[in-house]
Amino acid sequence: MSERENPSGPPNEGSSYGAPQGQNPQPYGDGQLQGAQGYSAPQGGPQGYGVPQGGAQGYGGQQQVPGGPQGSQQQPYAASQGVQQQGYGAPQGGPPQVAVAQALPEQPSRPPARNRRGALFSGLGALVALLLILGAYYIWHQGYYFYASDDAVVSAAIAPAAPEAPGTVTRVYRGLGAAVSRGAPIADLKTASGATITVRAPINGVIVQEGAAVGEVLPAGQPLAQVSNLSGATITAYVDEGSIGNVHPGQGVDVTIDAVKDTTFHGTVQQLLPVAASALSAIQTTDNATGNFTKVTQRIPVQITLQDLQGHTAYPGGSAEVTIHIHE
Given this model, what pLDDT does residue 146 score?
A: 92
More confident residue, 296 or 284: 296
Domain covering 231-325 assigned CATH 2.60.40.10 in the classification? no
Please give the mean pLDDT across all residues of the chain. 74
% of residues, the chain, pLDDT over 70: 62
Position 61 confidence tier, pLDDT thresholds 50, 70, 90: very low
- What is residue 36's predicted lDDT score, i.e. its pLDDT? 37
pLDDT in tens, 242-287: 999 999 999 999 999 999 988 999 999 999 999 888 887 766 666 6
C-alpha–C-alpha distance, residues 307 and 267, integer Å: 5
- In this prediction, residue 119 carries a pLDDT of 85
Question: Which residue ranges make up each domain of the chain?
Answer: 1-100, 113-145, 158-228, 231-325
Collapsed DSSP state (helix, strand, coil) of residue 185: strand
Q: What pLDDT is attached to residue 140?
A: 87
Count helices and strands (H / E) in the chain: 1, 16
- pLDDT given for residue 225 in this prediction: 92
The CATH class for the domain spanning 158-228 reads mainly beta
